[in-house]
A and B are shown apart, each in its own frame.
Chain A
Amino acid sequence: MTSHSLGRFLDQYRGAGSFLSVCLLLILVMFGLPLFVSTFGLLQVTILAVMSIFALSQGFVWGFAGIMSFGQAGFLGLGAYAYAVAVINYGDSTLAVPISIILSMLFAAVMGYFMFYGRISDAYVGVITLTVSVILFQLINSTSGSQYRIGVVELGGFNGIPAIPPLNLIGDPSRPLDQTGIWYATMGGLLLVYGLLRFILMSRFGRVVVAIRENETRAQLIGYDPRLFKLLAFVTGAGIAGLAGCLYVNWAGYISPGVFALTMSAQAIIFVLVGGLGTLLGPILGAVLIQWLINTIGDQGAVDPGLGLGIILVAFVLLFPKGIVPLVRAAIQQVLTWRKRNVGSPLLADADPLQSGAE
């Protein structure tokens, strides 16, 4: 094996290694935390997991597909409201969960078709996603009054829908989940989404999506239709956000139009930016950190969390545009190469022995 193919081999191995270690960590947290933390504590932490899923939807769509969505909250909200309406109407959460995901995906499919099959530039995708999420907010916000109902559920306008039943065991509405159960369901969802995205990114579809982000022209000239791949990536992201919406409702117990608000979309973007654009771990980390920060600042009540959030967003755009995870990784790389150079390890040298041409 030449040093190059060894390097490649180790890369793949390292890739699988990091995937397994993250999964292990998530599983440990999932089953370990309830042992140490009260039910109330679990409640605090569940929202961090929900936001992690929401962040992953933004992270995939933006970081890997290169689609600048300014309105992921639209899909969060659609999933949330869809779950609420379905679970109350059916009295059973079994169908409500897939409905929340599928509704978001359908909406995204229509939006995506309109955006990607028209000749709209990347910046305008941001405009349109933002505008549509605002439209959704204004529409739902205005549904006060008993004439706005789906089935038996009144949409409730700016008051929203109260007292939403939580998830129950599949097919058995008489066994609703308690707080610990919802924690398991949420963490399970996070594991599932993380695994799914990892799998997608390793698959041919995922590679093409990333290639299109890297250089759309070259991808086209190879024969890939960028419009289709962007549409599919966008729909996938929406489905994940829909799931997050469903789990969000389960955490909160009720839902209001605030879920569609611009600040929600902003949060998703901040999670990804702070955590690390172009990674999967980054959005999760960003969500946990920032959401925790929001909760803590919000609790003490003197200073509005928005102030801190705004400062963080500006600071990261100006100073750390790559986010925390890539910074940490780069730092680790630095340490490792320092050690290599000083300890000496010719097998892992990544210097090219055959320098062809000027560099």
Chain B
Amino acid sequence: MDLAGLIAFNVVTGIAMLCLITIGLGVIYGMMRIINLAHGELMMLGAFTCVIATEAGINIWISIFVLSPLVVGIIGLVLERTIIRFLYGRILDTMLATWGISIGLTGLIVTIFGNNVRTLANPAPSFGIGEYSTSLYGLVVVAVAVGALGSLFALLRFTKFGLILRATMERPGMAAALGIKPDTVYMATFALGSALAGMAGAVLAPISGVSPVMGVAYITRAFITVLGGGAAIVTGTGLASMLFGTIDELVSFKASPVIGSVAMLMTAVVLIRILPTGITGRFLRRSL
């Protein structure tokens, strides 16, 4: 019973983590159909911002929820204005260019901070489920994931900004005819996606450790979850995270984390083969 509780908790946490890792990439993919291969590095920058800020004495929660998204959102904005916006519509070229940004950002951080792992103290205490103990921080992750998805849904559904986003997603030409500048929308979207990535990196920093090369582990998972999820931002990310997260955690528990990760990747490969446009390419197509 205790074991079941622990596994359930791990599965839920795993899904939440995957959700957070993916959501920033999903926003950008859903809007502009580009795969931002620098996503992992944006998360890394968020984590680093958090570490540096807390080392400088700033409260960790402010670092995570205010500073990191702000800093990384601005960085994303700059990247979009200087590089990405020249490549819209060119899928392969954006993948290559963002890969270049990813390598460049990693190199930059290594040059400035050196290639070692820093730790961020876990702000949450551990708690017990029967005779197994785990960290309460898992609950924080779940809460943030739910909050992020929920806020995004609310933003898209209930706000004017969200309406503009959805209109531009569907028909940029028509939106332009109505006086909306798709360029500005893309810029805002990229900044939003970057900010979400930055926050995700910061939230996960206490559990994952922080190093310049940490982005690599994230990008593959985010990548396949976005493609597996399909074009609908909230539903796609949610459903794909549930599927992949569950498989990852269950197999990890049975075998090892590496095998779990491999199982998740292989599931993704098979899923994309069967549903080339992702889950929401076939089911729940009209959802957000």
Binding site for B on A (CB under 8 A): 68, 70, 114, 118-124, 126-128, 130-132, 134-135, 138-139, 141-142, 261-263, 266, 269-270, 273, 302-314, 317-318, 321
Binding site for A on B (CB under 8 A): 83, 86-87, 91-93, 95-97, 99-108, 110-111, 115, 216, 220, 223-224, 227, 256, 258, 261-262, 265-266, 268-269, 272-273, 276
A130-B220, A318-B86 in contact; A138/B261 too (CB < 8 A)? yes
Contact between chains at A127 and B104 (CB < 8 Å): no
Q: Which residues of A contact B110 (CB under 8 A)?
A: 304, 306-307
For the complex with contacts A307-B107, A317-B100, 12 further pairs of A-B residues with Cβ separation under 8 Å are: A118-B273, A119-B276, A123-B95, A126-B95, A138-B261, A142-B258, A261-B216, A273-B96, A304-B107, A306-B106, A314-B100, A318-B87
Tell me the minimal C-beta distance from B234 to chain A in angstroms: 22
A262-B216, A309-B107 in contact; A124/B272 too (CB < 8 A)? yes
Q: Which residues of B contact A142 (CB under 8 A)?
A: 256, 258
Q: How far is the CA of A314 from the CA of B99 in the complex (A)?
A: 8
Interface centre among B269, B272, B276, by most chain A C-beta atoms within 10 angstroms, is B269
Q: How far is the CA of A131 from the CA of B102 in the complex (A)?
A: 17
Q: How far is the CA of A248 from the CA of B257 in the complex (A)?
A: 30
Contact between chains at A314 and B111 (CB < 8 Å): no
Contact between chains at B96 and A269 (CB < 8 Å): yes
Closest 10 CB pairs of A and B: A310-B104, A306-B107, A313-B100, A307-B107, A310-B103, A314-B100, A142-B258, A304-B110, A304-B107, A317-B97
Tell me the minimal C-beta distance from A111 to chain B in angstroms: 10
Interface centre among B86, B99, B102, by most chain A C-beta atoms within 10 angstroms, is B99
Contact partner of B100 (CB less than 8 A), chosen from A124, A141, A261, A312, is A312
Tell me the minimal C-beta distance from A147 to chain B in angstroms: 13
20 A-B pairs whose Cβ atoms sit less than 8 Å apart in the complex: A118-B273, A119-B276, A120-B273, A123-B95, A126-B92, A128-B272, A131-B224, A131-B269, A134-B220, A134-B265, A138-B261, A141-B258, A263-B103, A266-B103, A270-B100, A303-B107, A307-B108, A309-B103, A311-B100, A312-B100
Q: How far is the CA of A321 from the CA of B90 in the complex (A)?
A: 12
Interface of B is mostly: helix
Q: How far is the CA of A122 from the CA of B90 in the complex (A)?
A: 13
Contact partner of A138 (CB less than 8 A), chosen from B99, B224, B262, is B262
Interface centre among B216, B220, B261, by most chain A C-beta atoms within 10 angstroms, is B220
Contact partner of A127 (CB less than 8 A), chosen from B101, B216, B224, B258, is B224
Q: Which residues of B contact A70 (CB under 8 A)?
A: 95
Q: How far is the CA of A66 from the CA of B91 in the complex (A)?
A: 14
Contact partner of B266 (CB less than 8 A), chosen from A135, A141, A304, A314, is A135
A120-B276, A135-B265, A142-B258 in contact; A305/B107 too (CB < 8 A)? yes
Closest Cβ neighbor of A128 among chain B residues: B269
Contact partner of B220 (CB less than 8 A), chosen from A131, A263, A312, is A131
Q: Which residues of B contact A135 (CB under 8 A)?
A: 262, 265-266
Q: How far is the CA of A269 from the CA of B100 in the complex (A)?
A: 10
Tell me the minimal C-beta distance from B266 to chain A in angstroms: 7
Q: How far is the CA of A268 from the CA of B97 in the complex (A)?
A: 15
Q: Which residues of B contact A313 (CB under 8 A)?
A: 96-97, 99-100, 103-104
Tell me the minimal C-beta distance from A205 to chain B in angstroms: 25
Q: How far is the CA of A263 from the CA of B169 in the complex (A)?
A: 33
Q: Which residues of B contact A119 (CB under 8 A)?
A: 276
Closest Cβ neighbor of B41 among chain A residues: A310
Contact between chains at A124 and B106 (CB < 8 Å): no
Q: How far is the CA of A261 from the CA of B96 in the complex (A)?
A: 16
Q: How far is the CA of A107 from the CA of B251 in the complex (A)?
A: 24
Tell me the minimal C-beta distance from A305 to chain B in angstroms: 7
Q: How far is the CA of A317 from the CA of B265 in the complex (A)?
A: 29
Tell me the minimal C-beta distance from B269 to chain A in angstroms: 6
A138-B261, A307-B104 in contact; A124/B83 too (CB < 8 A)? no
Q: Which residues of B contact A138 (CB under 8 A)?
A: 258, 261-262
Q: Which residues of B contact A120 (CB under 8 A)?
A: 272-273, 276
Q: How far is the CA of A32 from the CA of B99 in the complex (A)?
A: 38
Closest Cβ neighbor of B98 among chain A residues: A314
Closest Cβ neighbor of B40 among chain A residues: A262
Q: Which residues of A contact B95 (CB under 8 A)?
A: 70, 123, 126
